[in-house]
Structure 1
Amino acid sequence: MASVNVKNLQQLENLSSFSLSQLEKFADNLSVKNYRKNEIVFDQDQEAKLVYLVISGVARVSYLNTHENQTIVSLLPAGEFFGLDSLVPKTHHPFRCDAFENSVVGSIRPQTFIEILLGTTYESFLRWYTATLHSNRKSYVHCVRGIGLDLRGRIALELLNLADLFGISDARGMIIDLNISHEDLAGIIGASRQQVTQHLNEFDRKQIIAREGRRIIVDAQKLRKTIELES
């Protein structure tokens, strides 16, 4: 197991503004490991338990679809934190992270990370984070997951997202409690209204969705299967 000192941390741009006492505590609680090129730091869908810091080298964050095709989400230089999904308990990493080149990576418990660098209790931070930024993080992940899907798959993915945000449970499925037109849905997905209408009609025929005026009732399980077939 490698180690890191305060001087190393002070040289990282994202940590340079923190006090010496904060960095000393941070270094004392940081577990440091050397990763070889392509070695996995954490896998997609693995339970998120730690916050990570690139100390040297480059980390690669990727999304893998159901066929294991890889989309690189970002390349992280020294000084970048990642694995921030762990800030919310009982969550899972939506992406895989591995070493893009030989790298040194530190890891720390999220509670300790918050208390040392933000100077507040983890409980106070969590209330603020879930009320303000967590939904933005979920939107970002949702957008990335649409990469590589064809239009049919993107429509299915967006219907699932709308059901998650505006859904009301019903014996027939989830009612999207939102007065949304085909034109609105086309604008969200980035397609023409005619294309969206064509696919919605197909979903209706196959009983993947049902419609009441502009409200859509979705079968979430069938939509997920549609996405798996398209990805």
Structure 2
Amino acid sequence: MTREIAVDPKSLTRLKSLGWMREEQARRLAANSTGLKVRREDAIFMEGEASSRVYILLSGVAKLCYVNRDQRVLVGFVGPGEIFGLSSLLGQSTRPFRCEAYSDCTVAVVKPDIFVDTVLGVPLERLSLVLDVTVGRWWGMVVRYANFVGLGLRERLAGALLELAEKFGVRDSRGTLLTLKLTHAELAELVGASRQRTTEQLNDFEREGVITREGRRLIIVPEKLWQLAQTPHRN
């Protein structure tokens, strides 16, 4: 059961992460935050929810999980003073992780634009642009590797090719051309498999019509690859 409470400015300045704030900053942040008392094992937020809030853990311990089909991957624990739910600062529309109370927790919840303006004194749009080209890529890696746990090579390789197409792809009449020339060994390292098994899977993809080879370049059909990435198929 979750219930709302008022946020005391002193509960914010007592945290190591926010103890440097001026008194007026703490008052403004507290006034614009919603406090939540969350009981152990209850959800603080769910995967797939809109990334529209920043969370500050005032007390207790929370845990972040990636729910991968029928498997839960424990990504890590959140301690008092930590600020989480940061996908809302990266311009992402939905949350990739689920957050649950590992013990009884008290959480302050605030809109991202108010949090950034109050704490940093800059517009959210400007910060999001900077984060996107700095920590955004590392965030993407965390999500990708969490998603890889428990998947077969077929799904891992499909997901990796889709990510490469988004970053290094140009539209082509046959699909999306990867401008990055990768060897089979490099693709194998990316998905954590042997070069031989990766080559065999690429051959399967080519026979199924989801990729075409042009020398060392690959042309993928994103729609078909997306279906493969979402369909469980154990190797």
| TM-score relative to the length of structure 2 | 0.91
Q: Partner residue of 1:212?
A: 214
- State which of 50, 53, 60 in structure 2 corresponds to 1:50: 53
- Distance (Å, rounded) in 1 between the aligned partners of 2:208 and 2:44: 41
Q: Partner residue of 2:80?
A: 78
Q: Partner residue of 2:139?
A: 137
1:66–1:228 contact (8 Å) kept in structure 2: no
- Corresponding residue SS for 1:188: helix
Correspondences of 1:135-214 after superposition (within 5 Å): 135-214=137-216
- 1:193 counterpart letter in structure 2: R
Q: 1:225 to 1:34 in 2, by over 3 A?
A: same
Q: 1:123 to 1:222 in 2, by over 3 A?
A: closer
Question: How many angstroms does 1:122 deviate by?
Answer: 2.4
- Distance (Å, rounded) in 1 between the aligned partners of 2:25 and 2:31: 10
- Distance (Å, rounded) in 1 between the aligned partners of 2:128 and 2:165: 25
Q: Partner residue of 1:60?
A: 63
Question: How many angstroms does 1:90 deviate by?
Answer: 5.8
Q: Partner residue of 2:105?
A: 103
Correspondences of 1:85-96 after superposition (within 5 Å): 85-89=87-91, 91-96=93-98
- Distance (Å, rounded) in 1 between the aligned partners of 2:157 and 2:143: 16
- Corresponding residue SS for 2:49: coil
- 2:59 counterpart letter in structure 1: S
Q: Partner residue of 2:5?
A: 2
- CA offset digits 1:54-103 (Å, max 9, x no partner): 11111121111233x21111111111111111124461101111212221
- Distance (Å, rounded) in 2 between the aligned partners of 1:85 and 1:146: 19
- Corresponding residue SS for 1:93: coil
- Distance (Å, rounded) in 1 between the aligned partners of 2:229 and 2:132: 28
- Corresponding residue SS for 1:229: coil
- Distance (Å, rounded) in 2 between the aligned partners of 1:178 and 1:89: 26
- CA offset digits 1:165-195 (Å, max 9, x no partner): 1111122221111111101111222222111
- Distance (Å, rounded) in 2 between the aligned partners of 1:152 and 1:197: 11
- Distance (Å, rounded) in 2 between the aligned partners of 1:46 and 1:32: 19
- Distance (Å, rounded) in 2 between the aligned partners of 1:75 and 1:90: 22
- CA offset digits 1:118-170 (Å, max 9, x no partner): 12222332332233332332232222211221222211111111111111112
Residues matched between the structures, number:
230
- Corresponding residue SS for 2:51: coil
Unaligned runs of 5+ in 1: none
Identity, in percent, stands at: 33
| TM-score relative to the length of structure 1 | 0.92
Unaligned runs of 5+ in 2: none
- Distance (Å, rounded) in 2 between the aligned partners of 1:225 and 1:212: 23
- Corresponding residue SS for 2:170: strand
Q: 1:90 to 1:158 in 2, by over 3 A?
A: closer
- 1:123 counterpart letter in structure 2: E
- Distance (Å, rounded) in 2 between the aligned partners of 1:73 and 1:187: 22
